[in-house]
Amino acid sequence: MPEEPEVETAELRERIHEEMEHESGAFLRQIALSTAILAAFAALAALEAGHTVNEALVLKTEASRLQAEASDVWAHYQAKAIKGSVARAAAAAWEAAGHEPPADVTAEIARHAKGETELEDEARAREHERDERSREADALLARHQRFAQAVALFQVAIALGAVAALTRLRLVWFGSIALGAVGLVLFALPFASR
């Protein structure tokens, strides 16, 4: 029986260590690459989220302006309606006295009636335009929500990638990839639903 081992243990340990470093290095490169890809998608999703929310805010502001204009037109309509009612009351007083209302009173009644219709149409048109802007803004806010959710998932996936790199656990890295894939789906949904 030889006193020395047949296989040099120091050499074996060194080989095992080199193999582990080589395998670990490749794994870390995979983590780094996947994390970089996730970070790129996170940046794109964040840009889209910001862009859609800014567009939605512009449309909501436009809707508010249109509401103010519609309110002004409705106020003008009410003023016309009141003046028309006063003119109709004056005509009724003339008729109650058994006289024909003067031509200027009759003309004023007709003018206010016509003006009321035009103002009502204008106010309803502004309200319709306001509603359109508001619906567009709501759709953009829904898109923004998807992009924001995608950003959150990408960020968690990146954090899991960092944990996987520190612990060298493939299961954690697979979790990172899975969350990143869900984030990618959420990122793609708003583009698919256009």
| Encoded tokens for 145 | 């929500």
Mean pLDDT of 8-34: 69
Q: pLDDT grade, residue 80 (50/70/90)?
A: confident
pLDDT at 10: 57
- Euclidean distance between CA atoms 137 and 61, whole angstroms: 10
| Encoded tokens for 69 | 């204009």
Encode pLDDT of 125-134 as tens digits.
999 999 999 9
Mean pLDDT of 24-31: 84
With contact defined as beta carbons under 8 Å apart, do 105 and 94 qualify?
yes
pLDDT at 12: 47
pLDDT at 182: 97
With contact defined as beta carbons under 8 Å apart, do 187 and 44 qualify?
yes
pLDDT at 83: 85
What DSSP state is assigned to residue 190? H
pLDDT at 22: 65
Encode pLDDT of 134-155 as tens digits.
999 999 999 999 999 999 999 9
Backbone angles phi, psi at 100, to 5 degrees: -80, 135
- Euclidean distance between CA atoms 156 and 131, whole angstroms: 38
pTM: 0.70
